[in-house]
Chains A and B, each alone.
Chain A
């Protein structure tokens, strides 16, 4: 196999990795916020359930979680799996896992907000929702950005775990080519791809951080 063909195949896989990356963020970032609300809820049942969920997600390997999400429906309910469910299972698994991490990051940011901000908003007549979305959340975003950047970078590399469900993202393809052609080159290319991807992510996040540095 020529290098250009290999590059072409790996690039195709990269698009799929990118798909996992983007969809995971689209679902896990809002879901994480909801989970963090549940985690800080006054309702102790909701709080306990959420704590257990976060503990499970952080305490077991993501690869194992992917396998459970994909094969679970068959073993538990005898449902037919495969086809488009493979990709869906990956997104569900990733989103559930990352939402747990993001929830704790949101919580750290929200709990670090000075109570005076809530009190000032209260006195000025903001409702709880208005206070959260206009006053609290924008400041939380700034506070948690470095921690979120860490997670996002980890996510780029974690997309490679999709090979456990034999989904043809970049790393799965790299392994296949390496095995078929008995060459190490695809792994080198994969490493470069991941590295450049993360460089772009890091620069992007840094730009956002800079944009938010207009206040302290």
Chain B
């Protein structure tokens, strides 16, 4: 299987405080990887490093085998610019916790603007694809609505469609349901599950344990900035590991 993403020996610090210590991971084509762990364990930061929203302080990131970011031996970080940067960015998409839809654009415009403006694809084709995506998300009747007229769950589904419209090789989710109530969470998880059936490569940071267990090919349990445990869902969830037992125990209780 082809590796879509490789992160090698990633380090990240904020004001001298290291929050990610030497993490390495890779994601293969079609694989679904979930990252779980307590708040403050560095899950979101790791995701933000992978999507270049945060700059790494050590290690290297590769997409499709191409070096996307790395640090020189003297500690200098290198991020390619120009056409190379554009190409690397086209490999991944990200769905945010709080959607970050563009409020001044209608639903369809949110989805079609980037493919038309950035990828310079023909308008008719992009619109047709966007309508198909909306149908898949169960939002065909919301094409002309504005984000402020939608529920949180609907907004998140539009955000997923917006990310998919650019045909990324890999899709990241940063706690996609943490801003939603249980009912809305369900509808978003259902959509993500439907993407899994289409074999879209995904990395999901989530607090939805049952969902992670159900959907993932592999799970990473992060704690205090390191990968504490990694493996198949059943191996991680049933592991004889004090920290994860403690963590999952708290979930089971509520």
**Interface residues in chain A, defined as those with a beta carbon under 8 Å from any beta carbon in chain B:** 114, 116-117, 119-126, 130, 134-135, 138-139, 142, 214-216
Contact of B53 among A114, A122, A215 (CB under 8 A): A122
Contact assessment for A216 and B148 in the assembled complex, using a CB-CB cutoff below 8 Å: yes
Contact assessment for A117 and B117 in the assembled complex, using a CB-CB cutoff below 8 Å: no
Contact assessment for A125 and B89 in the assembled complex, using a CB-CB cutoff below 8 Å: yes
Known: A116-B98, A215-B148. A123 touches B89 (CB 8 A): yes
Contact with A along B35-55 (1 / 0, CB 8 A): 000000000000000011100
Contact assessment for A130 and B117 in the assembled complex, using a CB-CB cutoff below 8 Å: yes
Q: Is residue B219 within 8 Å, beta carbon to beta carbon, of the partner chain?
A: no
**Interface residues in chain B, defined as those with a beta carbon under 8 Å from any beta carbon in chain A:** 51-53, 86, 89-90, 92-94, 96, 98, 100-104, 113-114, 117-119, 146-148, 162-163, 166
CB-based nearest B residue for A116: B100
CB contacts (< 8 Å) of A124 on chain B: these are 93, 114, 118, 162-163, 166
Interface-centre pick from A120, A134, A135, A139 (highest chain B CB count, 10 A): A120
Contact assessment for A125 and B86 in the assembled complex, using a CB-CB cutoff below 8 Å: yes
CB contacts (< 8 Å) of B113 on chain A: these are 134
CB contacts (< 8 Å) of B101 on chain A: these are 120
- 7 closest Cβ pairs, A-B complex: A120-B100, A116-B100, A216-B148, A124-B114, A125-B118, A215-B146, A123-B94
CB contacts (< 8 Å) of B90 on chain A: these are 125
Contact assessment for B104 and A139 in the assembled complex, using a CB-CB cutoff below 8 Å: yes
Q: Which secondary structure characterizes the binding site on chain A?
A: helix
Contact assessment for A120 and B53 in the assembled complex, using a CB-CB cutoff below 8 Å: no
> How far is the CB of B147 from the nearest CB of chain A, in Å?
7
> How far is the CB of B149 from the nearest CB of chain A, in Å?
9
Contact of A215 among B93, B98, B117, B147 (CB under 8 A): B147
> How far is the CB of A133 from the nearest CB of chain B, in Å?
11
> How far is the CB of B204 from the nearest CB of chain A, in Å?
16
CB contacts (< 8 Å) of B51 on chain A: these are 123
**Alpha-carbon distance A124/B165, docked complex (angstroms):** 10
